[in-house]
Chain A
Amino acid sequence: MEILVCARRVPDTSENEIALNSTANDIERDELVYSINEPDNYAVEEALQMVAKVGGNVTVVTVGGDDDEEILRREMAMGANHGVLITDDAFTGSDGRGIATILKAFVQKGNFDLILTGVQAEDGAAQVGGMLAAMLDYPFASLVNSIEIVDGKKLKISREIEGGNKEMSEIDLPCVLSIQTGINEPRYVGMRGIRAVASVPIPTYDATQLDLVPNTVGASAAKVKRVDYFMPTLGKGAEMLTGEREENIEKLLELVAAKGGLK
């Protein structure tokens, strides 16, 4: 089975405090640690487990710049057979549809049975997989949390729906699936593994090689544009306890007791 995983390098927001830059057109990125988008990493692990069962290759592709090579190498150290970087100045400012258009052009250059994406990236849009599937006229499923290979023509999958329930479906290949975190336990990647693939050449593709017409991608084609960022002021906001830890604990326990939360 030939599996393509679409991945993205993102700032790790779980451990970082995000601030805006001086003109609020972007976040302050200098201090941020970047890594592969977490659901994308689960998608690569799932692909590796599938080819381990039935044979085949895993290709990891990203649309970006030179900095993004590091996640391709990381996923190759995990076991992916190929990493591909799609890069062109003309792609700057693409919206979700633009990225899906670029990926579609790449998919059509290959012969993939299955395309995986992570369920969403740092913008939380959860859009590229479903768009790519529609452009290719492939079936699509989002929030996938288990995959079973039925035969060379179809998969049995489950989707995460409300209340922890699972929606089971059968889906024809080729198809696009967006992978939810928790589907597997991604393997550990050590420095040694990364060093082993450090000098493997990473092929690149640009707009010309992908036969992309300029007005279909990039900022000029984007129907959705960000104007600026701002810090949210949702809800009432918490009363912050700013004393020493011991004081905070006492105050917290008073409040909990007042709400009937202490026996």
Chain B
Amino acid sequence: MARIFSYIVHKDGVPDDSAAELLAAARQIDPNAPLTAVVCGFGSGLDRVCESLRPSYLEVWKIGAETLAYANAELIRKALVKVLPPQSVVLVPHDHFGIDLAPGLSIKLGAAFVSDVVGIEGLQSSTLNIVRQEFGGQVSAHMKCDVSSGAVVTVRPGAFKSLDAPGINGQVVDKSLEIGVPSAGRRYLQTVVAEAGDVDITKHAVLISIGRGIQDKENVAIAQELADAMGAAVSCSRPVVDAKWLEKSRQVGSSGKTVKPKVYLACGISGAFQHLAGIKGNPFIIAINKNPKAPIFHVADVGIVDDILEFIPELTNKVREMHSVSAK
């Protein structure tokens, strides 16, 4: 049986949420396989992360080097290629780092690559049966992956329910001396923090969130009118920012803001997982979309199939009507 590794993303000495999810994914590949965590980094933060993983993993492979203090995917790939044994199955979170690291890692390991996995249906000899999504989450697919020469698998954040640490007293194995001195053609300079916008969407209890279905910059006004009538704020999904119809600070999602409203009105939003990743705190989600197959309807509490360009103005009128009645 191939050895299963979880690549642990971490920050400030604490493993990312994905660490416990990868544990769950690994268990679904093989409930009995010994699991190994791989952690790259530098200094005391790296040691704290390794220590915190001992209850979850039989072995924690620590790769420490000053050059790895910032997670540069090219340097980490070179380190992993030196350390990982042949036929390894390596799980990596499908986040901005995993997207950077994993495809190239699979080539250098001579391993199969399957990305953004949302389900694992077990291993039959050297065939791994998995589920992924295509067409923006509208369709799922069963896939077969030949892992006889190993595999690199990226796992969708949030798709696997975190597994509690099984309480094994794993050992930290220092692999730092095995990596040599990797160099990279890409060098990290700095991180530029996102600018605060005119409206802080993270502070609002009700969000009127618009997506591609708003169709035109002019139409953003109809969402703003509804928001004004309801005392809410307008947020959006990625295509609205790409089209420059709203500022980046209004974007909800893994590459935008994380919001925790009470009520989230998703208008013309398809519901890509990157968008849903930005909605926390279990709000009441109402989705309005003219495509009845839009993935947003899988996660919404209430759904309406309608054209938002007609629906929103009528909703606004109704809200105003209610206000004028209650004012009398």
Name A's B-contacting residues (CB within 8 A). Answer: 11, 13-20, 27, 96-97, 100, 119, 122-131, 133-135, 138-143, 156, 158-172, 175, 178, 181-182, 185, 223-235, 237-242, 245-246, 248-250, 252-253, 255-256, 259-263
A224 and B145 contact, CB distance less than 8 A: yes
A255→B304 CA distance, assembly (Å): 13
A253 and B293 contact, CB distance less than 8 A: no
Name B's A-contacting residues (CB within 8 A). Answer: 73-74, 77, 95-96, 99-108, 112-116, 118, 129, 132-146, 149, 151, 184-194, 205-206, 212, 230-232, 238-239, 241-242, 244, 248-249, 251, 254-258, 262-263, 265, 270, 284-287, 291-293, 295, 297-306, 310-311, 314-315, 318-319, 322
A224 contact from B104, B144, B206, Cβ within 8 A: B144
A88→B145 CA distance, assembly (Å): 24
Rounded to whole Å, the gap between the CB of B248 and the closest CB of chain A is 5
Rounded to whole Å, the gap between the CB of A142 and the closest CB of chain B is 5
Rounded to whole Å, the gap between the CB of A178 and the closest CB of chain B is 8
B145 and A122 contact, CB distance less than 8 A: no
A6→B193 CA distance, assembly (Å): 31
A260→B232 CA distance, assembly (Å): 12
* Minimal Cβ-Cβ distance residue in B for A100: B107
B143 and A227 contact, CB distance less than 8 A: yes
Residues of A within 8 A of B318 (CB): 249-250, 253
B113 and A122 contact, CB distance less than 8 A: no
A259→B232 CA distance, assembly (Å): 14
Residues of B within 8 A of A128 (CB): 103
Rounded to whole Å, the gap between the CB of B310 and the closest CB of chain A is 8
Most buried by B among A128, A163, A175, A228: A163
Most buried by B among A182, A227, A241: A182
Residues of A within 8 A of B129 (CB): 227
Q: A161-B191, A165-B191, A240-B297 are in contact. Are A130 and B185 (CB under 8 A)?
A: no
Q: A224-B113, A260-B205 are in contact. Are A233 and B100 (CB under 8 A)?
A: no
Residues of B within 8 A of A170 (CB): 186-187, 189
B140 and A232 contact, CB distance less than 8 A: yes
Most buried by A among B133, B186, B311: B186
B116 and A164 contact, CB distance less than 8 A: no
* Minimal Cβ-Cβ distance residue in B for A39: B242
A16→B294 CA distance, assembly (Å): 9
Rounded to whole Å, the gap between the CB of B215 and the closest CB of chain A is 10
B249 and A230 contact, CB distance less than 8 A: no
A18 and B255 contact, CB distance less than 8 A: no
B191 and A167 contact, CB distance less than 8 A: yes
* Contacts A/B (CB < 8 Å), 14 sampled: A124-B136, A126-B103, A141-B186, A167-B188, A168-B190, A170-B186, A182-B241, A225-B145, A231-B139, A234-B295, A234-B298, A239-B302, A263-B230, A263-B231
Residues of B within 8 A of A96 (CB): 103, 113
A227 and B144 contact, CB distance less than 8 A: yes
A11→B136 CA distance, assembly (Å): 11
B139 contact from A27, A140, A163, A178, Cβ within 8 A: A27
A169→B74 CA distance, assembly (Å): 12
* Minimal Cβ-Cβ distance residue in A for B241: A182
A171 and B186 contact, CB distance less than 8 A: yes
Residues of A within 8 A of B187 (CB): 169-171
B302 and A238 contact, CB distance less than 8 A: yes
A242→B241 CA distance, assembly (Å): 31
Q: A160-B96, A261-B262 are in contact. Are A126 and B135 (CB under 8 A)?
A: no
A232 and B139 contact, CB distance less than 8 A: yes
A130 and B292 contact, CB distance less than 8 A: no
Residues of A within 8 A of B299 (CB): 234-235, 238
A225 and B108 contact, CB distance less than 8 A: no
* Minimal Cβ-Cβ distance residue in A for B291: A17
